[in-house]
Protein backbone atom coordinates (compact mmCIF):
# COMPACT_ATOMS: atom_id res chain seq x y z
CA UNK A 1 0.00 0.00 0.00
CA UNK A 2 1.09 3.53 -0.79
CA UNK A 3 2.15 5.92 1.86
CA UNK A 4 -0.37 8.54 3.04
CA UNK A 5 1.52 11.40 1.38
CA UNK A 6 1.35 9.83 -2.10
CA UNK A 7 -2.33 8.98 -1.63
CA UNK A 8 -3.18 12.60 -0.68
CA UNK A 9 -1.23 13.91 -3.68
CA UNK A 10 -3.10 11.56 -6.04
CA UNK A 11 -6.43 12.59 -4.48
CA UNK A 12 -5.64 16.28 -4.98
CA UNK A 13 -4.47 15.69 -8.58
CA UNK A 14 -7.60 13.68 -9.38
CA UNK A 15 -9.70 16.47 -7.84
CA UNK A 16 -7.99 19.21 -9.93
CA UNK A 17 -7.73 17.21 -13.16
CA UNK A 18 -11.18 18.19 -14.51
CA UNK A 19 -10.46 21.86 -13.74
CA UNK A 20 -7.12 21.73 -15.55
CA UNK A 21 -8.72 19.93 -18.49
CA UNK A 22 -11.47 22.57 -18.77
CA UNK A 23 -8.93 25.40 -18.51
CA UNK A 24 -6.89 23.85 -21.33
CA UNK A 25 -9.99 23.49 -23.49
CA UNK A 26 -10.94 27.13 -22.79
CA UNK A 27 -7.48 28.33 -23.87
CA UNK A 28 -7.65 26.20 -27.01
CA UNK A 29 -11.10 27.61 -27.85
CA UNK A 30 -9.85 31.18 -27.33
CA UNK A 31 -6.84 30.54 -29.57
CA UNK A 32 -9.00 28.99 -32.33
CA UNK A 33 -11.44 31.94 -32.16
CA UNK A 34 -8.56 34.42 -32.50
CA UNK A 35 -7.24 32.51 -35.54
CA UNK A 36 -10.64 32.56 -37.26
CA UNK A 37 -11.32 36.25 -36.56
CA UNK A 38 -7.80 37.24 -37.57
CA UNK A 39 -8.01 35.35 -40.87
CA UNK A 40 -5.56 32.76 -39.63
CA UNK A 41 -2.64 35.14 -40.05
CA UNK A 42 0.43 34.58 -38.00
CA UNK A 43 2.75 37.17 -36.52
CA UNK A 44 4.85 37.31 -39.71
CA UNK A 45 1.96 38.70 -41.81
CA UNK A 46 2.41 42.43 -42.16
CA UNK A 47 0.50 45.23 -43.85
CA UNK A 48 2.35 44.71 -47.16
CA UNK A 49 1.56 41.00 -47.40
CA UNK A 50 -1.30 39.63 -49.53
CA UNK A 51 -4.31 38.26 -47.71
CA UNK A 52 -4.58 35.55 -50.37
CA UNK A 53 -3.06 34.56 -53.69
CA UNK A 54 -3.88 32.23 -56.58
CA UNK A 55 -1.45 30.48 -58.89
CA UNK A 56 -2.11 29.15 -62.41
CA UNK A 57 -5.78 30.00 -62.24
CA UNK A 58 -8.64 30.69 -64.63
CA UNK A 59 -11.97 32.40 -63.97
CA UNK A 60 -14.92 32.45 -66.34
CA UNK A 61 -18.01 34.69 -66.39
CA UNK A 62 -21.16 33.32 -67.99
CA UNK A 63 -24.16 35.11 -69.46
CA UNK A 64 -27.78 34.38 -68.58
CA UNK A 65 -27.96 31.89 -71.46
CA UNK A 66 -24.87 30.03 -70.22
CA UNK A 67 -22.52 31.38 -72.87
CA UNK A 68 -19.01 32.49 -71.91
CA UNK A 69 -18.72 36.29 -71.63
CA UNK A 70 -15.24 36.67 -70.14
CA UNK A 71 -12.39 34.34 -69.36
CA UNK A 72 -9.41 35.46 -67.27
CA UNK A 73 -6.31 33.32 -66.79
CA UNK A 74 -3.00 34.22 -65.13
CA UNK A 75 0.13 32.68 -63.62
CA UNK A 76 -0.42 34.41 -60.29
CA UNK A 77 -2.82 36.79 -58.57
CA UNK A 78 -2.00 38.45 -55.24
CA UNK A 79 -4.92 40.14 -53.48
CA UNK A 80 -4.18 42.70 -50.78
CA UNK A 81 -6.53 43.86 -48.01
CA UNK A 82 -7.86 47.35 -47.29
CA UNK A 83 -8.44 48.46 -50.89
CA UNK A 84 -4.85 48.04 -52.02
CA UNK A 85 -4.28 47.10 -55.68
CA UNK A 86 -4.47 43.47 -56.74
CA UNK A 87 -1.39 42.30 -58.66
CA UNK A 88 -1.62 39.85 -61.57
CA UNK A 89 1.26 38.07 -63.30
CA UNK A 90 0.90 37.18 -67.02
CA UNK A 91 -2.82 38.02 -67.31
CA UNK A 92 -4.77 36.85 -70.36
CA UNK A 93 -8.32 38.11 -70.77
CA UNK A 94 -10.75 36.96 -73.45
CA UNK A 95 -13.94 38.99 -73.83
CA UNK A 96 -16.81 37.51 -75.87
CA UNK A 97 -19.72 39.89 -75.30
CA UNK A 98 -22.83 39.01 -77.35
CA UNK A 99 -23.07 41.03 -80.55
CA UNK A 100 -19.43 42.16 -80.38
CA UNK A 101 -16.35 40.56 -81.94
CA UNK A 102 -14.18 38.55 -79.51
CA UNK A 103 -11.30 40.47 -77.96
CA UNK A 104 -8.16 39.15 -76.27
CA UNK A 105 -5.67 41.04 -74.09
CA UNK A 106 -2.42 39.77 -72.62
CA UNK A 107 0.51 41.38 -70.78
CA UNK A 108 3.50 40.51 -68.62
CA UNK A 109 1.82 41.95 -65.53
CA UNK A 110 -1.21 43.86 -64.38
CA UNK A 111 -2.50 45.83 -61.42
CA UNK A 112 -6.19 46.27 -60.56
CA UNK A 113 -7.22 49.19 -58.34
CA UNK A 114 -8.92 48.42 -55.04
CA UNK A 115 -12.27 49.67 -56.38
CA UNK A 116 -11.88 47.63 -59.62
CA UNK A 117 -12.33 50.80 -61.69
CA UNK A 118 -8.81 50.86 -63.18
CA UNK A 119 -6.61 48.15 -64.70
CA UNK A 120 -2.95 48.92 -65.46
CA UNK A 121 -1.25 46.49 -67.86
CA UNK A 122 2.53 46.61 -68.32
CA UNK A 123 5.11 44.79 -70.41
CA UNK A 124 4.39 43.36 -73.87
CA UNK A 125 0.73 44.43 -73.85
CA UNK A 126 -1.12 42.99 -76.87
CA UNK A 127 -4.80 43.52 -77.58
CA UNK A 128 -6.50 41.70 -80.46
CA UNK A 129 -10.06 42.23 -81.65
CA UNK A 130 -11.39 39.76 -84.19
CA UNK A 131 -12.91 40.87 -87.48
CA UNK A 132 -16.62 41.67 -87.59
CA UNK A 133 -19.05 42.81 -90.27
CA UNK A 134 -17.42 45.76 -92.02
CA UNK A 135 -14.38 45.79 -89.67
CA UNK A 136 -11.09 43.97 -90.03
CA UNK A 137 -9.11 42.30 -87.27
CA UNK A 138 -7.14 44.86 -85.26
CA UNK A 139 -4.04 44.35 -83.13
CA UNK A 140 -2.70 46.91 -80.65
CA UNK A 141 0.77 46.55 -79.09
CA UNK A 142 2.38 48.71 -76.39
CA UNK A 143 4.41 48.47 -73.19
CA UNK A 144 1.63 50.00 -71.08
CA UNK A 145 -2.16 50.29 -71.19
CA UNK A 146 -4.54 51.85 -68.66
CA UNK A 147 -8.08 50.44 -68.95
CA UNK A 148 -11.31 51.64 -67.34
CA UNK A 149 -13.59 48.62 -67.94
CA UNK A 150 -16.89 50.09 -66.75
CA UNK A 151 -16.41 53.25 -68.82
CA UNK A 152 -15.08 51.20 -71.77
CA UNK A 153 -12.08 53.51 -72.10
CA UNK A 154 -8.34 52.90 -72.44
CA UNK A 155 -5.25 55.07 -72.78
CA UNK A 156 -1.49 54.97 -72.86
CA UNK A 157 1.26 57.57 -72.87
CA UNK A 158 3.79 55.10 -74.31
CA UNK A 159 4.58 54.14 -77.88
CA UNK A 160 1.72 52.13 -79.39
CA UNK A 161 1.37 50.29 -82.72
CA UNK A 162 -2.00 49.49 -84.28
CA UNK A 163 -2.26 47.04 -87.16
CA UNK A 164 -5.37 46.21 -89.18
CA UNK A 165 -6.28 45.39 -92.80
CA UNK A 166 -5.71 49.01 -93.86
CA UNK A 167 -2.16 49.25 -92.56
CA UNK A 168 0.04 49.91 -89.56
CA UNK A 169 -0.18 53.09 -87.49
CA UNK A 170 1.97 54.15 -84.53
CA UNK A 171 2.01 57.00 -82.06
CA UNK A 172 3.42 58.11 -78.75
CA UNK A 173 0.02 58.16 -77.02
CA UNK A 174 -3.44 56.66 -77.44
CA UNK A 175 -6.94 57.36 -76.12
CA UNK A 176 -9.77 54.89 -76.87
CA UNK A 177 -13.47 55.37 -76.11
CA UNK A 178 -15.25 52.15 -77.02
CA UNK A 179 -18.76 53.54 -76.40
CA UNK A 180 -18.14 56.49 -78.72
CA UNK A 181 -16.18 54.20 -81.08
CA UNK A 182 -13.26 56.62 -81.21
CA UNK A 183 -9.53 56.02 -81.24
CA UNK A 184 -7.08 58.92 -81.08
CA UNK A 185 -3.36 58.53 -81.74
CA UNK A 186 -1.04 61.45 -80.93
CA UNK A 187 2.61 62.42 -80.31
CA UNK A 188 4.66 61.58 -83.39
CA UNK A 189 2.07 59.63 -85.34
CA UNK A 190 3.34 57.60 -88.31
CA UNK A 191 1.49 55.20 -90.55
CA UNK A 192 1.51 52.98 -93.56
CA UNK A 193 -1.73 52.59 -95.49
CA UNK A 194 -2.04 49.49 -97.61
CA UNK A 195 -3.86 49.60 -100.95
CA UNK A 196 -7.33 48.10 -100.83
CA UNK A 197 -7.41 44.55 -102.11
CA UNK A 198 -9.60 43.98 -105.20
Task: List, for residues 26-60, the tens digit of each pLDDT value.
Answer: 666 667 666 666 655 544 455 578 888 889 988 88
Is the pLDDT score of 162 beyond 60?
Answer: yes
83 and 168 in one domain?
yes
pTM, entire model: 0.70
Kindly give the residue spans of alpha helices, DSSP state H, lying in 38-124. none
More confident residue, 145 or 98: 145
pLDDT for the residue numbered 56: 92
CATH number of the domain at 129, please: 2.60.450.10
What is d(CA 80, CA 86) in angstroms, rounded to the nearest whole number?
6
82 and 150 in one domain?
yes
Is the pLDDT score of 69 beyond 70?
Answer: yes
Which residues does residue 145 pair with via DSSP β-bridges, in sequence order? Answer: 121
143 and 58 in one domain?
yes
Q: What are the residues whose beta carbons fall under 8 Å from the beta carbon of 112, sequence distance 6 or more?
A: 85, 86, 88, 118, 119, 120
Is the pLDDT score of 14 beyond 70?
Answer: no
180 and 89 in one domain?
yes
Q: Could you tell me if residue 103 is inside a domain?
A: yes
pLDDT for the residue numbered 169: 93
110 and 20 in one domain?
no
pLDDT for the residue numbered 48: 74
Residue 187: pLDDT band (50, 70, 90) is: very high
Number of compact structural domains in the chain: 2
159 and 93 in one domain?
yes
76 and 173 in one domain?
yes
Q: Could you tell me if residue 198 is inside a domain?
A: no
62 and 34 in one domain?
no
105 and 24 in one domain?
no
107 and 16 in one domain?
no
* Boundaries of domain holding 141: 52-193
Amino acid sequence: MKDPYTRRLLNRLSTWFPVLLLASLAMLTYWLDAQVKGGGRDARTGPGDPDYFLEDFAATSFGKDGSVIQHLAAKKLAHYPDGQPTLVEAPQLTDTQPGKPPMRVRADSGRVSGDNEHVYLTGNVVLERDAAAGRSKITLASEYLHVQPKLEKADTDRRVTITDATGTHAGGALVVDNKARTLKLSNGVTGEIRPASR
